[in-house]
Amino acid sequence: MAGGGSAIRGSRVGAGPMGEAERGDTAPRQRVVFFCANGHETATVFAVDAAVPEAWDCPRCGLPTSTDVNNPPPPTKIEPYKTHLAYVKERRSESEAAEILEEALEKLRARRARGEVIF
């Protein structure tokens, strides 16, 4: 029994040979290998005339890499999370904080003396 109405099977409209004749010549390329502190090796291809970056992120562990196999960059230092209070303490001394607190308490006491409702 004959199948459906297409005489050309396994192709689609516009399909054809995809050689360099249709796409043009490819740019000359260079293979650059980057190394991370964990010993991972990452090979990336760049155009010959493209600027090769000094550092690259390792796709396996995320550490920075370099092209020097004997001297990969050290892992970046991760700063711990700071609370709002830690940032405030960086900007204000203890005496400044005491002055600000006393000023706020004076305003609060004045409002209470006037009979204002404070939530």
Domain boundaries, the chain: 29-66, 84-114
Amino acid 60: pLDDT: 93
Q: What is the model's pLDDT at position 38?
A: 92
**36 labeled binding residue:** yes
Neighbours of 89 (CB within 10 A): 13
- Supply the pLDDT for residue 26: 80
User: Tell me, what's the pLDDT at 78?
Assistant: 83
Q: Is 87 annotated as a binding residue?
A: no
84 is in an annotated binding site: no
Res 76: pLDDT: 84
H/E stretch holding 101: helix 94-113
Q: Which CATH architecture has domain 29-66?
A: Single Sheet (2.20)
Give start and end residues of each alpha helix (H) in 28-93: 84-91
Per-residue pLDDT of the chain (119 residues; tens, 9 = 90+): 555 555 556 666 666 665 556 667 788 999 999 999 999 999 999 999 999 999 899 999 999 999 999 999 998 888 888 999 888 889 999 999 899 999 999 999 999 888 887 76
